[in-house]
Amino acid sequence: MGKPKCCFCSLLRLVVVIVWLFSVLVMKLASVRKLELEFGRVAVVTGGNKGIGLEVCRQLAGNSGITVILTARDEARGAAAVEKLREQGLSNVVFHQLDIGDAPSIARLAEFLKTRFEKLDILVNNAAFGGVEYIHGPEQRSQTSEEELFRNEELKQELNDIDNLTSERLDDLLNMFLKDFEDNVVEARGWPMAFSAYKVAKAAINAYSRILARRYPMLRINCAHPGYVKTDMTIKSGLLTPDEGGSRVVAVALLPEGSTTGAFFEDFKESSFI
Ligand SMILES: NC(=O)c1ccc[n+]([C@@H]2O[C@H](COP(=O)([O-])OP(=O)(O)OC[C@H]3O[C@@H](n4cnc5c(N)ncnc54)[C@H](OP(=O)(O)O)[C@@H]3O)[C@@H](O)[C@H]2O)c1
């Protein structure tokens, strides 16, 4: 037979647990508040060493209350870009190496964010490369949403059917494209023709962003078209300056809490994916 339980002891134990939980919560809130005061919001920009990415870093850093992590795959180019921004009086920019195609590099950045800031408020997924070498120059027109350039109606509909599209199906579609590319049937299957790998990759990342937006409704996950911008990617043939292109991206990155998610923005306005 066990000893009868003492009501007072049980009550005391409960009070101790509640006080302990309360103090943990207070400490956590104090640490969040301290981080908030020290760094403000923390923003990561990929491919921040030049072009639109560098402009996005400059404009975000000019916004008081944001610490910008300018990332670049090349340490020297990234450090030089941070130096350039610091010379313009923007001291709230920090460099960290990131190659978006290299898993260990991504893990190192995640660890850095966790230990140094314990959070990430804004991610501008900007880095990309065209994957082509120009011989005559790029297409002389502004491209709108990349899905518009798909000629295969079934594919277009599938990418736009966001309630049923899954990341596994998106992987299948990308594998299908790679196979068609190798088999030289890109045109016959209705994939985009000029710059096809670039356009298919962009359509896939737009669709994946929408899947993520649906999966994480508490976050705001949107896509932004910067316009046709004079950068190295367009061999400076665009219609907008990097400053103008960057401002279209920054406007979306700074959308207020509670605003739209899973949307596509073009020229500062919400537009359709297809
Ligand atoms: N320019 C336009 O008209 C236009 C139109 C529509 C969309 N966009 C999009 O806007 C974004 C910026 O383009 P941009 O015109 O500014 O091009 P950009 O001047 O060529 O800059 C591209 C940036 O991405 C970086 N990058 C490439 N591969 C990377 C990798 N594996 N890991 C990390 N960084 C990498 C480059 O770094 P390195 O210096 O090391 O190469 C560079 O910093 C891209 O997503 C592009 O598709 C541009």
Instruction: Select from 257, 216, 250 the least CA-distant residue to 265.
Output: 250
Q: Is the pLDDT of residue 7 over 90?
A: no
DSSP secondary structure of 36-100? HHHH-EEEEETTTTSHHHHHHHHHHHTSTTEEEEEEESSHHHHHHHHHHHHHTT--SEEEEE--T
Paired residues of 260 in beta bridges = none
DSSP-derived secondary structure for 236-253: T--SB-HHHHHHHHHHHH
Pick from 193, 192, 252: which is nearest to 60 by CA?
252
What global pTM score does this model have?
A: 0.86
Better-predicted residue by pLDDT, 269 or 194: 269
Q: Does residue 36 have a pLDDT over 80?
A: no
Q: Closest ligand 1 atom to the C-alpha of 74?
A: 40
Percent of the chain with pLDDT over 70: 89
| Cβ–ligand 1 contact at 209 (below 6 Å) | no
129 C-beta closer than 6 A to ligand 1? yes
Ligand 1 centroid, distance to 131 Cα (angstroms)? 11
Q: Give the side-chain half-sphere CA count within 13 A for 184.
A: 0
Q: What is the pLDDT of residue 126?
A: 98
pLDDT digits (tens, 9 = 90+) for 47-63: 999 999 999 999 999 98
- CB of 202 closer than 8 Å to CB of 177: no
DSSP code of 148?
G
Residue-wise pLDDT for 135-190, tens only, equals 555 554 444 444 456 788 888 899 999 999 999 999 999 999 999 999 999 989 99
119-123, 140-144, 168-172, 219-223: least confidently modelled range: 140-144
Answer yes or no: are the C-beta atoms of 237 and 138 closer than 8 Å.
yes
List residues bridging with 223 in a β-sheet: 264
- Classify the C-alpha dihedral 27-37-220-198 as positive or negative: negative
Average pLDDT value over all residues in the chain = 89
pLDDT, greater one: 264 or 34: 264
- Alpha-carbon span 45 to 109, nearest angstrom: 12
For residue 43, what are the CA distances in angstroms to 52, 61, 130, 239, 257?
A: 15, 9, 25, 27, 15
- Evaluate if residue 94 carries a pLDDT over 80: yes
Q: Please tell me the predicted confidence (pLDDT) of residue 138.
A: 54
**Is 198 tagged catalytic?**
yes
* Segment among 200-204, 211-215, 222-226, 263-267 with least mean pLDDT: 200-204
